[in-house]
């Protein structure tokens, strides 16, 4: 059975849009567009970003993250201290009831130490987020040359 040309063309045009948007749900936690920036071949580390939405009536907590593409993954945040921006590890990140937490450049992020391979534009890699209440959630992180467009940065 042959598909009409317009359906084939429409499918090809829509596929890049579908590849860009990806969301995940675990209990009352909604995870929007996990992404990471493509790094130079010599970079030993990278970071992953996303937005956490808590659609529930009680708070949850992100306790850690893990991925097979790095030796270790840690929760980090940038803070302004003594007139300087500094990155520091945090043990947990609270996700308030009915609220959201953005993991974005110069804010919260998952730091990936000891990359086992270069992260290249267009690829995806698994990242498991560990929550107190929502449990473990595996997401696919999209590697991009640049930060995503504004519609993904709520």
Per-residue pLDDT tens digits for 90-138: 999 999 999 999 999 999 999 999 999 999 999 999 999 999 999 999 9
Grade residue 8 by pLDDT with cuts at 50, 70 and 90: very low
Domain carrying residue 28 = 24-148
Q: In this structure, is residue 7 part of a structural domain? A: no
Cβ neighbors of 103 (< 8 A, separation 6 or more) are 48, 49, 50, 51, 52, 109, 110
The C-alpha atoms of residue 7 and residue 19 are separated, in whole angstroms, by 18
Grade residue 143 by pLDDT with cuts at 50, 70 and 90: very high
Q: In this structure, is residue 87 part of a structural domain? A: yes
pLDDT of residue 13: 41
Half-sphere exposure of 3 (CA within 13 A, CB side): 8
pLDDT tens-digit profile of 49-80? Answer: 999 999 999 999 999 999 999 999 999 999 88
Q: In this structure, is residue 1 part of a structural domain? A: no
Q: In this structure, is residue 57 part of a structural domain? A: yes
**Domains of the chain: total:** 1
Q: In this structure, is residue 4 part of a structural domain? A: no
Q: In this structure, is residue 154 part of a structural domain? A: no
Q: In this structure, is residue 153 part of a structural domain? A: no
SS3 26: strand
For residue 28, the domain's CATH number is: 2.60.40.1890
Q: In this structure, is residue 15 part of a structural domain? A: no
């Amino acid at each position: 059975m042959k598909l009409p040309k317009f359906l084939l063309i429409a499918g090809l045009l829509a596929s890049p849009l579908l590849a860009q948007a990806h969301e995940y749900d675990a209990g009352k936690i909604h995870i929007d567009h996990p992404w990471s920036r493509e790094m130079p071949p010599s970079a030993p580390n990278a970071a992953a970003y996303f937005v956490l939405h808590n659609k529930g009536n009680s708070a949850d907590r992100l306790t850690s993250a893990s991925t097979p593409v790095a030796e270790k993954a840690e929760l980090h945040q940038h803070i302004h201290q003594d007139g300087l921006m500094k990155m520091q590890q945090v043990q947990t990140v609270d996700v308030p009831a009915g609220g959201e937490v953005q993991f974005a450049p110069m804010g919260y992020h998952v730091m990936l130490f000891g990359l086992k391979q270069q992260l290249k534009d267009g690829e995806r890699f698994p990242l498991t987020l560990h929550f107190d209440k929502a449990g473990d959630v595996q997401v696919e992180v999209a590697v991009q040359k640049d930060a995503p467009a504004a519609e993904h940065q709520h």
